[in-house]
Structure 1
Amino acid sequence: MSEITNSNSNDWFESWFDTDYYHILYKERNDEEAQLLMDNLTQYLNLPEEARILDLACGKGRHAIYLNSLGYDVTGIDLSENSITEASAAANDKLHFKVHDMRENCDEKYDAIFNLFTSFGYFDEDADNLKTLKAIHNSLTETGFAVIDFMNADYVIENLVPEEIKTVDGIDFHIKRTYKDGYIFKEISFEDKGKKHQYTERVQALRLADFEKMMEEAGIYLLDIFGDYKLRKFFKTQSERLIMIFK
């Protein structure tokens, strides 16, 4: 029996992100690197000690938990109910988690909104990307800042690893990557407990010019652009990341 998500479906992220396998495959993501980014961002933005931060598409909350450990009042939101349930185990009076669609305005306003580690560009419709940007903009306080940390599509495409096998917890994840029709696809197939599984991740290969166009349409002011987690200058062909700070 196989479980297959259709790469043409606009809700692939709902099914894949809600599985235990998603978290198994990515559990070794670099926390040190992530914390470096958050340290640098909070210092660069000069956030006050009591700043309210929104972690947009927070997953199981590892970044929200770290931001909270720095003393901030943090809310993590994600579409995955399973992820929010797990993240909520770490909740306290200054750390909150809830299920929320990033395309919708938040009920409250935040001093900073972080959308980290390429948690954007999942949607079929460009209108949904614009809707997300507008929701971020509308959920900021008057003096607030937002950050989108996205892949540098040109760098990723140039350095795409077509095939690899990654073994985690005794499961061999067969991964194939392709670039087609403006999207980067990652096909993930594996077998566990006698069942075959197949999922497809699909992220729009958005460039800086795409974001600039959407931000202009959304009435957003792009303040700064960086190319890595040390907040160094962005170079189109060399930088691994595209980090945008706006308000």
Structure 2
Amino acid sequence: MAVCPRLGRERCSSGTQLRRITMQIEWYKNFFYGVALDLWRKAITPEQTRAEVDFLVKTLRPPEGARLLDVPCGGGRHSLELAARGYRMVGVDISEEFIAEARATTARGGLQGEWFIADMRSLPNEFEFDGAFCFGNSFGYLDRHGMNAFARALSGVLKPGARFVLDTAMAAESILPSLEMRRWFRVDDILLLVDNQYDAAHSCLDTEYIFVRGGKTESRPSSHLVYTVAEIERLLGAVGLETQATYSSLDEQPFRLGSPRLLLVAQKS
């Protein structure tokens, strides 16, 4: 999901318009609740989650009983499946609703998992992780300083040789060639209008999401930095996370221009 502040399509300078007005006043803090989460839950099937976890196990190569980091974890759909397979999971997310859901599911299932309410830059440094992953387009939620801080924090909690897997449909090579400015979706009883504007001066996708359900309409903005694959590789490489592979699908097809999804595997040196 994705928006840079709409107050100013013109080029700006003062602290890059206060870092684009702090990326739409940190939009992600007030996005993930209520109807937005309901839509996300309805859109993802258990079969999709299991397939993604199979991919994670294959590419992370975690030892038996490994401690893994899921950031941001959302409601913990990947972590809960991994916990059921015997891994020790730690999840971080800024959504109180999502973390409460993950904690409740963990308790009901007798699973092993620890959950923290925090943004991506605030990772639990009391742990060393055997692997980590960032799924669901979350890479790019922060401004460039924030994303650099996330990369440093991530590298700091990974063991040498540990792997990191990134999943996003927001790489420049994926989203820009076929970007639609306006598009409607229906997911069960929720109608969604996605209204995009691309800010080329700052490589940022401004999006307004309009949710319609039961005669009620809610509008939420978002801001998403759009990185090229090379930029992502350089960002990760600068903190010692060297890219091992880039795929376009869970069956490990190579990533190319126009691929709808990027799955990047990196390893800490």
Give me the TM-score of the superposition, normalised by structure 1: 0.87
Give SS of 2:238's match.
helix
Verify: 1:78 aligned to 2:80, yes or no.
Answer: no
Partner of 1:233: 254
Partner of 1:23: 37
Residues 36-90 of structure 1 show CA distances to partners (whole Å, capped at 9, x for unaligned) of 2321221233322211111110111111111112221111110111210111101
Q: Is the 8 A contact 1:228 1:243 kept in 2?
A: no
Structure 1 residue 204 corresponds to structure 2 residue 225: yes
The answer as to whether partners of 2:246 and 2:262 remain within 8 angstroms in 1 is no
Which contiguous aligned blocks of 4+ residues in structure 1 show a shift greater than 3 angstroms?
5-8, 167-171, 190-196
**2:92·2:123 contact (CA, 8 Å) conserved in 1?**
no
What's the offset of the Cα at 1:195? 5.4
The answer on whether the counterparts of 1:104 and 1:131 sit within 8 Å (CA) in structure 2 is no
For 2:152 and 2:168, the matched residues in 1 are separated by 17
Count of matched residue pairs: 241
In the alignment, does 2:222 pair up with 1:213? no
CA distance in 2, matches of 1:31, 1:207: 30
Matches within 5 A, 1:106-125: 106=124, 107-124=126-143
Distance across 2 between alignment mates of 1:242 and 1:157: 17
Indicate the SS of the match to 2:102: helix
Which 10-residue stretch deviates more, 83-92 or 147-156? 147-156
List per-residue Cα deviations over 1:131-163 (Å, max 9, x = no partner). 101111111123321111122322222222332
- Note closer, same or farther for the CA distance 1:196–1:207 as it changes in structure 2 (3 Å cut): same
C-alpha RMSD of matched pairs (Å) = 2.3
Shift of 1:241: 1.9
Relative to structure 1, the CA distance from residue 71 to residue 149 in structure 2 (aligned partners, 3 Å threshold; closer, same or farther) is same
Structure 2 counterpart SS, 1:158: coil
Q: Which among 108, 113, 116 is matched to residue 98 of structure 1?
A: 116
AA of the residue aligned to 2:168: F
Deviations 1:98-139 (A, max 9, x none): 212211242211101111121111113x11111101111111
CA distance in 1, matches of 2:39, 2:73: 17
Contact 1:53 1:112 in 2 (8 A): yes
- Structure 2 gaps of 5+ residues are 7-22
- Stretch moving more, 139-148 or 230-239: 230-239
**Cα distance change, pair 44–166 in 1 and its aligned pair in 2 (3 A):** closer
Q: Is the 8 A contact 1:208 1:242 kept in 2?
A: no
Query: 1:196 deviation in Å?
Result: 4.1
Change (3 A) 1:44 1:148: closer
Q: Which residue of 2 aligns with 1:246?
A: 267
Output the CA distance in 2 between the equivalents of 1:31 and 1:185: 30
* SS class of match (1:9): helix
The answer to whether residue 156 in structure 2 is matched with residue 138 in structure 1 is yes
Name the counterpart of 1:44: 59
Contact 2:199 2:205 in 1 (8 A): yes
Q: Which amino acid aligns with 2:59?
A: Y
Is the aligned partner of 1:224 residue 2:245? yes
Match of 2:206 in 1: 185
5+ residue gaps, structure 1, are: none
1:166·1:173 contact (CA, 8 Å) conserved in 2?
yes
